[in-house]
Structure formats: structure tokens, C-alpha cells
Amino acid sequence: MNNEREICKLAFLVTGFPPNVSGVSLFNWERAQWFSRQSNYQVAVFAPDFQNSRTKHSIDTSNSIKNLTVERYPSKPWLPYPLNYVPKIKATNQINQKLRSHQPDIVVVTDVEQFFFLSAWQLPGYDYVQEFKIPYIAEYHTDIYNFSAAYQGWQWLRNAAHLFRIPYYLYRNFDATLCSSIAAAESCRNLGIPNTATVPFLGIDISMYNPNRRNRQCLKPWLTDEEQNNKVILFLGRLGFEKRVDLLISAFKKLQCKQLNCSLAIAGDGPIEVVNYLEDLAKSIPNIHFLGFVEGEAKANLMASCDIFCSPSPYETFGRTIVEAMASGIPVITVNSGAVSEYIVDGVNGHLVPPNNINKLVNSLAQALIANNQTITQKAVQDANQLSIERGCIHLNNYYQKLLKSHQNLFNFVLLYGYSKLNVKTGGYHRIRRSYSPRLDDFKLLAEPSFGTKWH
């Protein structure tokens, strides 16, 4: 860090960013704004230019925000998931040149696989951090190796990752890989990813979501006259095969035998082949409505106005919409898998069912529709406050400050004793063996404990 100004310059290298529509995109935007508002940070975000993208988002990132710069790099649709945009090969040199202009103290790369595979085939910023000896951090946002099995033609990726140790060779170039949950960290370790640290950095804008937004009038445009008094089950999120919305549709069909007066609202967008598949699956089932993409105030109102939120996805590294539903005061039914099982306790602040178990899902939906859920939803609202973007960024701030202090200690050590005293691995002086000196053990530090292992 530049000690004269006491300012830390952060560079976030991302693929998910507005106008792209995803939880990762929204988080990257909210996180950048939070750090830019702090007096001791300057932020540069490197994001796709989304040329020829038809994606529209109400968030305007072009407005001038103090201490925040958004740099756009040349991008293209990513072959495995064309709605996501990734860097072109020529983008790497442009990113490195812009990094030299911004002179960051830390470089953070999110969703590393999307920067490398079938995109730039290089790690952006790597040459810069090697030259200037600064921390190079990865963030693991997406359980890509597991959910790839849900997509036709990509089932081989998970097996190949284990067989050829692909994640290890990719992530070993980073000083640390930050995971937002214990489940994500365990998944990384199982993949052979070294130097993982659990930092609960993900969160939502709690101020947007509130039970007081409940208003059945906002459901009127989507429900038929006969459904106006129905209980409404909501799924809201990206429509991808890994989200298992197909399982929810099948469960809803069975549920109608037990609970006639209910409707299913599916809000979100995704690849056209996924949307078409889900619509075909649902077309013979009454009371299912596809709402399309919903955002902002309309999304927050929709959340609070439905009766149950259901997400059957087993691959969540955080579960943004689940936390939004908790904050909105509606009961949540999701699967006992991934990060959500770290902050949802079955029967206390939500309901958990085994992954891919349609009968358990039907029974849980049926019970929640007739139960008095007030105690559960009150607890959920309370617990959602622990998962705010503010708290997540505070955890990151603490991590960055400790990291910079450790890095400065190391730099001072080199100035005092020279490189010859360091037991250095090939690839940069900052890759120190932990066994060298207890004074340097905190360089690869573990951050504050995750919100996991159940708070209750």
C-alpha cells in the first residue's frame, strides 16, 4: 500500500457485472460501490464490454462515482453459457496495461475459470502482480465443476477436473482463494485448490427487502381471476438447468393433488433452450406462470407478496435470492446442500429437504402452505440481517488490511535481509513456504470464521 496517502487501491477483475443479470453481477457492483465509499480505498473494476449483448439492466454503471472507475475489456459470449461474457484473448494485454495505469495494491479475480477456459486462455493481471510483487487473490463464486454436469455435453468437466487436477494448476498461481462459505471452501479443497480461506464476503442489500412491502395487488397482473386468492409459491433466479426448476415444476404438479388453491410463479431468465424446456414441461399444468426478468422495486415487492419461496438448487455457494426471501418475511424451502445449509436451520428459520427428492419437496410445500409460519419468518428476517452486503464487505476489508500488513512485513524483511534469506517457490517472491518463519505465518491468513456451523 502507498503509505504516504494511506490509500489502498483495489482492482477487481470480473466477468459478472451489469448489464449482465446474475447474483454475481449485482454483488460485484454493490461491493465496488461499498469500497469506493470508504475513505481509504480507490477501486477499479475491469468488466466485459458486452458488445452485441441484448441483456438490459436498470443499473447504470457509467455514472461518475468518486473513487470508482469501471474499465471495460473486449469480450465475447462464453461457449458453455452464452449469456455470460468473457474476455477475448486480446483483452489480457489491455487489462495489464490499464493495471499499470491504476497501480493497484491488490488484484482480485472472480470466477477464474471464465477468465481462462475458452476465453483469454491466460490469467489477467498475473504479469502485473509478478512484476510489482503485490497480492493476487481469487474468489470462488460459482460451483462450476459440479453444476456443469447439468448441461448436455459438459458432464465430462467434473471428472476431467479431478483426473487432470485442472483446478490445482489454475489456482496455484494465486496467493489465496477466498470462499464465502464452509461448503464452498470444502468443494475447493476437494478439487485440489490450494491456499483456500473462508471469508463470508457475500451479502445482499438488506434495505431493499422488507415484509412491509407485502401487497397482493402486485400479483394481479400475473394471476388469473380464479387465482387471486390462491397461495403463491415463488421461484426467482437465473433459469439454468443446475437450478432444478424442473424439479419444482414436477413437485407442483403433485402438490395440486393435495392443495388445489395454489399457484407457482417462476421469475427470471436464462438460456433460450432452458426456458423453452421449462415452459414445455409446465404447459399442461394449470396455475404456473413465467414472469420473465424482474428487478429492483418490482422484485422486492414480488418477494414480500408471495406466500412461499422455493429454491431446489443443490449448488449454491451463497444463495442470494434465498436470503432476499428471508429478509422479505416469507417462508423459504430449499435443499440441505451447499452454503444455504450453513445459515438455514430446518424448522427454525426455514425448511430444508434432501437434494433431488421430489416427494420430500412436495410434502414440505404442502405443510408450509397450511402452517402458521410467523415464528419461522420472524427468525428468518432477523438472521438475514447477518448476511448484508455491509457485513460481507467489512469481512473483506478486514482481510485486505491484514493481508496488506503481512505483505508489508514481508517487504520490510526483504529490504532488511535480502532475497537470499527467503525460501521462495518458483513464480514470485510472495509465495513463501509457511514453514520458513512463524513471523510470516499470518501472510496466508485465515479470515474471520464463516457464518457457517449454524448460529442458532
For residues 234-262, give the mean pLDDT.
Answer: 94
pLDDT surpassing 70 at residue 42: yes
Quick one: 112 and 46 in the same domain? yes
Quick one: 194 and 104 in the same domain? yes
Return the CATH number at 125: 3.40.50.2000
> Tens of pLDDT along 214-245?
999 999 999 999 999 999 999 999 999 999 99
User: Does residue 450 lie within any of the structural domains?
Assistant: no
For residues 372-386, give the mean pLDDT.
Answer: 96
User: Does residue 150 lie within any of the structural domains?
Assistant: yes
User: Does residue 3 lie within any of the structural domains?
Assistant: no
Count the domains in the chain. Answer: 2
Quick one: 185 and 230 in the same domain? no
For residue 290, what is its C-alpha cell?
A: 413465467
User: Does residue 297 lie within any of the structural domains?
Assistant: yes
The last residue of a domain, from among 386, 401, 424: 386
Q: Which single residue is written with the C-alpha cell 483495489?
A: 10
Q: What is the pLDDT of residue 56?
A: 58
Q: What is the pLDDT of residue 440?
A: 31
Helix or strand holding residue 327 (H, E): helix 320-328
Quick one: 351 and 395 in the same domain? no
Quick one: 95 and 162 in the same domain? yes
Quick one: 21 and 67 in the same domain? yes
Q: What is the pLDDT of residue 25?
A: 94
Q: What is the pLDDT of residue 233?
A: 98
The last residue of a domain, from among 342, 362, 386: 386
User: Does residue 432 lie within any of the structural domains?
Assistant: yes
> Tens of pLDDT along 296-350?
999 999 999 999 999 999 989 899 999 999 999 999 999 999 899 999 999 999 9
User: Does residue 158 lie within any of the structural domains?
Assistant: yes
Q: What is the pLDDT of residue 259?
A: 78
Contacts of 154 (CB under 8 A, 6+ apart): 80, 148
Quick one: 187 and 73 in the same domain? yes
- Place 62 in a pLDDT band, splitting at 50, 70 and 90: low
β pairing state of 41-48 and 8-13: parallel
Q: What is the spatial distance between Cα 402 and Cα 27, in angstroms, rounded to a whole number?
A: 23
Quick one: 367 and 430 in the same domain? no
User: Does residue 451 lie within any of the structural domains?
Assistant: no
- Place 446 in a pLDDT band, splitting at 50, 70 and 90: very low
- Burial of 276 by CB count in 10 Å (0-12 exposed, 13-18 middle, 19+ buried)? exposed
- Place 179 in a pLDDT band, splitting at 50, 70 and 90: very high
> Tens of pLDDT along 265-298?
999 999 999 999 999 999 999 999 999 999 999 9
Where in the sequence is the domain holding 251, given as residue range(s)? 206-386
pLDDT surpassing 60 at residue 351: yes
- Place 51 in a pLDDT band, splitting at 50, 70 and 90: confident
Q: What is the pLDDT of residue 159?
A: 77
Quick one: 81 and 144 in the same domain? yes
Q: What is the spatial distance between Cα 456 and Cα 444, in angstroms, rounded to a whole number?
A: 30
- Burial of 405 by CB count in 10 Å (0-12 exposed, 13-18 middle, 19+ buried)? middle
Provide the terminal-to-terminal Cα distance of the chain, rounded to the nearest Å: 39
User: Does residue 453 lie within any of the structural domains?
Assistant: no
The last residue of a domain, from among 368, 386, 404: 386
- Place 444 in a pLDDT band, splitting at 50, 70 and 90: very low
Q: What is the spatial distance between Cα 35 and Cα 214, in angstroms, rounded to a whole number?
A: 32
Quick one: 236 and 303 in the same domain? yes
Q: What is the pLDDT of residue 144?
A: 81
Quick one: 430 and 355 in the same domain? no
Whether 14 and 45 have beta carbons less than 8 Å apart is answered as: yes
Whether 57 and 35 have beta carbons less than 8 Å apart is answered as: no
> CA 41, 108, 242: angle at the middle one, nearest 5?
125
Contacts of 344 (CB under 8 A, 6+ apart): 322, 326, 332, 334, 350, 352
Quick one: 242 and 369 in the same domain? yes
Q: Does the pTM of the predicted model rise above 0.95?
A: no
pLDDT surpassing 90 at residue 454: no
Q: What is the pLDDT of residue 387?
A: 96
